[in-house]
Chains A and B, each alone.
Chain A
Amino acid sequence: MSKAAQEQLRFVGKMVHVSLPREPSSVDSRESDPADANAGRARARGVIRDAIFAILLAILLFLCWPGRLHAQDDCLACHSDKDMKNAAGHSLAVDGDKLGASIHGSLKCGDCHADIKTYPHPDKVARVQCLTCHATEESDLKGSVHADGKDHPCISCHGDAHTIFPKADARSAVYPLNVPGTCAQCHSNNGMGQKHGLPSIYPKYIDSIHGYALSKEGLLVAANCQSCHGSHHILSHKDPQSPTFKSNIPNTCGTCHAKINVDYSQGAHGKAIAAGKMKAPVCTDCHTAHGILQPTEAAFRMQSTPICGSCHKDKLSTYHDTFHSQLGLLGGYVETARCWDCHGAHDVLPARDPKSPIAPANLVTTCGRCHAGANLQFVQYQPHANARDRKLNPALYFIRLFMNLLLAGTLTFFMIHTILWLIRARIEQVKNNSAIGGDHD
């Protein structure tokens, strides 16, 4: 007999004992004569025999009563067996101790498994409906990208229904530090994600500055998946209601990065987005959504200029002609000027705005941040000069033309000269040395 079953019997026994004493006491009041003690004792023995019979009957009734199959202990009599499986091979085991400690520990099995009232159980058992209690979450989920999930929508994220903990509990699958791993069950480079054609997100996230703060430093405030995407009502980034919809991203990031959101909203890009110009970049266009890097790192500085250049193509092309770019492209060098070193990062403003770092009046300061001793003449240097544009930069255009002609002319002349010489030298060599290839000394 299992431990749970023993406990069950003890429990039943206690209930019967509580109701027992009344019978003997009533007997005692009637049989008060001590001389009649022997007869009374014999009668009492008969009563106890009856009582034991009644108890056994009660136990039998109790065990057979169908309505009683609700308390956890009844079910655990069988389901605590760790190896218990159904016909399809799925485990039917429940750990009573863990269930008791979980947030659902006070519930009876039948509260969720409402269709299982009897033993033996019905052939077909219905899927547990969490919405009975969690109606809001269920309706949120119905409208989300996860609505059509074939697996049970709740336990996919919250884990085994019998061991669910509140989200502030470190044992919870949706505890902030556990969220990325939970979402990674599908949104990673594992079989599940590939099967459903999902992009691999987890590796990018966990190597990002958010992922680092969360996994290495254990910062509960670091952004995890649901900080930006929400939890039950997750919407596609194409949905205007989604916190990851392009125009909502500044506010989503701004939940934590409030100051930068203010800067951004005052810059050219922020104003454009606010005006509905959806080509303008938001946070994720430059920082990316998941693989967010520390902006002072070489890796981020390397990847960022092409991002600006994907819209500002002509500026990227002329930037590539400069020493800033030439040195910057080789990597490592974090010092060389990238776009936002001169233009600002979040509050990008056009040069005509007096607040812009590239406004003529601010250039000496802006250039002077790297070039100590920058003066008014120095800042006339054009960081986006185009030597191929005759109208825009005539002096540069003709200098480049002259240099190219000099290069092409010199090389062409001497190339012809050398080739002719080689042919002639070989002819002379063969003639003089009877075609042995010549004497090198």
Chain B
Amino acid sequence: MTELAQSPEETVRPVKACGRFIKRFTRAQRYLHAVLFTTFLGLAATGLPLRFSESIWARGLAGFVGGFGAILFVHKFCAIVLTGAFLYHVKDIVARAFVHHEKGVFWGNTTMVGNWKDVKDLIGHLRYFVGLGPKPQFERYAYWEKFDYWAVFWGMMVIGFSGYAMWFAPFFARFLPGWALNAALVIHSEEGLLAILFIFSIHFVNTHLRPGSFPMDMVIFTGVESEPEFQHKRPLEFARMVNEGKLDARLGEKPEKWQLNFSRVIGFTAIAIGLILLVLTLSAYFG
């Protein structure tokens, strides 16, 4: 083992010369994503055995994720944490837009709200896929990222409301008709299924598994992206910052090695759990 021990640590991938890293996500945004995917995995793992309770794996998975007694507790616990994160996020948006009067929250180049450019980007991107045009130039948030965001936003409201309606059914029945309780389960399970299928297939591939990001886009864990990658992926935002002279203000620290490794462990675990749940879901759906 002497040769291995004496050899330099990075033999396969030498550290690249270009040293500059550009910040894309704040610490709060990264934590929000971490809370979101942790609780989402928890909700999916405890919700799927209920949704597909007649499948062969339902009882096994229910036992694995905490047993029959704990499955509802885990589901409700994750729901409360996620609700808290959601409310904190809404509060943050409102504060940024209306208290601190931050520009570009609801419109402009940096907004999460969909606009005409996103429609043009979508069409342009599809044309680019089939070789009918050039690759569209993306700003801070591309149209599929905005879709991901709003899908989650809408999903949390729909799933959350229907979930709480079932949890506190006698209370909600004071101002909802009886059939709404029937509807709540249909909506909750269908929307939950959509979220699970979407996140574990479309979001995983678009964001992490496609060539160019494979096997995982680390930016949501580290918050920074190398300058060439940033320039390649967000050409419009990069050009705008260079023109406005704001690039220096966006420079971030190169992520530490432990930080990268830790992020990889967490990220790959999440992706692996998601893919297992996806396979189980599909097997129950088509099996």
Contact check, B177 vs A424: say whether CB atoms are below 8 A apart.
no
What would be 19 A-B contacts, judged by CB atoms less than 8 Å apart? A322-B185, A331-B62, A332-B69, A371-B170, A373-B171, A377-B174, A378-B169, A378-B170, A378-B178, A382-B179, A403-B190, A403-B194, A406-B194, A421-B206, A423-B129, A424-B129, A428-B211, A429-B212, A438-B214
Residue B16 is within 8 A (CB to CB) of chain A in the complex: yes
A400-B190 CB under 8 A given contacts A375-B170, A382-B178, A421-B210 = yes
Least Cβ–Cβ distance between A363 and chain B, in angstroms: 10
Q: Using a CB–CB distance below 8 Å, which chain B residues touch chain A?
A: 13, 16, 49-51, 53-54, 58-59, 62, 67-69, 71-72, 125-126, 128-131, 144, 151, 166, 169-171, 173-174, 176-179, 181-183, 185-187, 190-191, 193-194, 197-198, 201-202, 205-206, 210-212, 214-215, 226, 229
Residue A53 is within 8 A (CB to CB) of chain B in the complex: no
Contact check, A375 vs B174: say whether CB atoms are below 8 A apart.
yes
Set B126, B144, B186, B202: member contacting A399, Cβ < 8 A: B186
Q: How far, in angstroms, from A434 to B191 measured CA to CA in the complex?
A: 43
Least Cβ–Cβ distance between B24 and chain A, in angstroms: 16
Residue A255 is within 8 A (CB to CB) of chain B in the complex: no
Contact check, B193 vs A415: say whether CB atoms are below 8 A apart.
no
Residue A292 is within 8 A (CB to CB) of chain B in the complex: no
Question: Which residue of chain B lies nearest to A420 when distances are taken between CB atoms in the complex?
Answer: B129
Contact check, B170 vs A327: say whether CB atoms are below 8 A apart.
no
Set B68, B182, B186, B190: member contacting A381, Cβ < 8 A: B182
Least Cβ–Cβ distance between B254 and chain A, in angstroms: 12
Contact check, A375 vs B212: say whether CB atoms are below 8 A apart.
no
| A-chain residues with CB within 8 Å of residue B170 when the two chains form the complex | 371-375, 378
Contact check, B53 vs A407: say whether CB atoms are below 8 A apart.
no
Contact check, B177 vs A414: say whether CB atoms are below 8 A apart.
no
| B-chain residues with CB within 8 Å of residue A424 when the two chains form the complex | 128-131
Residue A91 is within 8 A (CB to CB) of chain B in the complex: no
Q: How far, in angstroms, from A423 to B169 measured CA to CA in the complex?
A: 48
Contact check, A403 vs B187: say whether CB atoms are below 8 A apart.
yes
Contact check, A330 vs B183: say whether CB atoms are below 8 A apart.
no
Set B58, B151, B178, B206: member contacting A329, Cβ < 8 A: B58
Least Cβ–Cβ distance between A421 and chain B, in angstroms: 6
Q: How far, in angstroms, from A407 to B189 measured CA to CA in the complex?
A: 11
Contact check, B50 vs A407: say whether CB atoms are below 8 A apart.
no
Total contacts A to B, CB within 8 angstroms?
Answer: 150
Question: A402-430: which have CB < 8 Å to B?
Answer: 403-404, 406-407, 410-411, 414-415, 417-418, 420-426, 428-429
A327-B169 CB under 8 A given contacts A424-B128, A425-B211 = no
Set A375, A411, A425: member contacting B194, Cβ < 8 A: A411
Question: A382-399: which have CB < 8 Å to B?
Answer: 382, 385, 387, 393, 395-396, 399
| B-chain residues with CB within 8 Å of residue A425 when the two chains form the complex | 210-212
Chain A: residues with Cβ within 8 Å of the partner, total of 53
| B-chain residues with CB within 8 Å of residue A330 when the two chains form the complex | 49-50, 53, 58-59, 62, 68, 71
Residue A320 is within 8 A (CB to CB) of chain B in the complex: yes
Question: Which residue of chain B lies nearest to A379 when distances are taken between CB atoms in the complex?
Answer: B178
Contact check, B129 vs A421: say whether CB atoms are below 8 A apart.
yes
Contact check, A399 vs B187: say whether CB atoms are below 8 A apart.
yes
Q: How far, in angstroms, from A332 to B58 measured CA to CA in the complex?
A: 13
Q: Using a CB–CB distance below 8 Å, which chain A residues touch chain B?
A: 320-323, 325-333, 371-375, 377-382, 385, 387, 393, 395-396, 399-400, 403-404, 406-407, 410-411, 414-415, 417-418, 420-426, 428-429, 438, 440-441
Q: How far, in angstroms, from A320 to B194 measured CA to CA in the complex?
A: 20
Q: How far, in angstroms, from A270 to B171 measured CA to CA in the complex?
A: 39
Contact check, B190 vs A404: say whether CB atoms are below 8 A apart.
yes
Q: How far, in angstroms, from A201 to B211 measured CA to CA in the complex?
A: 63
Given contacts A322-B185, A414-B202, 20 further A-B contacts (CB under 8 A): A323-B50, A323-B185, A326-B51, A330-B71, A332-B68, A373-B170, A373-B171, A378-B170, A380-B177, A381-B173, A387-B182, A395-B183, A403-B187, A403-B191, A404-B190, A411-B198, A414-B206, A415-B201, A422-B210, A423-B129
Question: Which residue of chain B lies nearest to A330 when distances are taken between CB atoms in the complex?
Answer: B62
Contact check, B212 vs A438: say whether CB atoms are below 8 A apart.
yes
| B-chain residues with CB within 8 Å of residue A320 when the two chains form the complex | 54
The 3 closest A-B pairs by CB, nearest first: A380-B178, A332-B68, A378-B173
| B-chain residues with CB within 8 Å of residue A326 when the two chains form the complex | 50-51, 53
| B-chain residues with CB within 8 Å of residue A371 when the two chains form the complex | 169-170
Contact check, A441 vs B210: say whether CB atoms are below 8 A apart.
no
Contact check, A440 vs B214: say whether CB atoms are below 8 A apart.
yes
Q: How far, in angstroms, from A429 to B129 measured CA to CA in the complex?
A: 13
Q: Which of B53, B67, B130, B229 has the most CB of A within 10 A?
A: B53
| B-chain residues with CB within 8 Å of residue A418 when the two chains form the complex | 201-202, 205-206, 210
| B-chain residues with CB within 8 Å of residue A381 when the two chains form the complex | 169, 173, 178-179, 181-182
Q: How far, in angstroms, from A428 to B125 measured CA to CA in the complex?
A: 14
Contact check, A407 vs B193: say whether CB atoms are below 8 A apart.
yes
Question: Which residue of chain A lies nearest to B185 when distances are taken between CB atoms in the complex?
Answer: A323
Question: Which residue of chain A lies nearest to B193 when distances are taken between CB atoms in the complex?
Answer: A407
Least Cβ–Cβ distance between B271 and chain A, in angstroms: 15
| B-chain residues with CB within 8 Å of residue A396 when the two chains form the complex | 179, 182-183, 186
Least Cβ–Cβ distance between A427 and chain B, in angstroms: 9
Contact check, A407 vs B54: say whether CB atoms are below 8 A apart.
no
A420-B186 CB under 8 A given contacts A410-B198, A414-B202 = no
Contact check, B53 vs A329: say whether CB atoms are below 8 A apart.
yes
Set A331, A387, A393, A420: member contacting B126, Cβ < 8 A: A420
Question: Which residue of chain B lies nearest to A414 when distances are taken between CB atoms in the complex?
Answer: B202
Q: How far, in angstroms, from A320 to B13 measured CA to CA in the complex?
A: 55
Least Cβ–Cβ distance between A320 and chain B, in angstroms: 7
Least Cβ–Cβ distance between B176 and chain A, in angstroms: 7
| B-chain residues with CB within 8 Å of residue A375 when the two chains form the complex | 170, 173-174
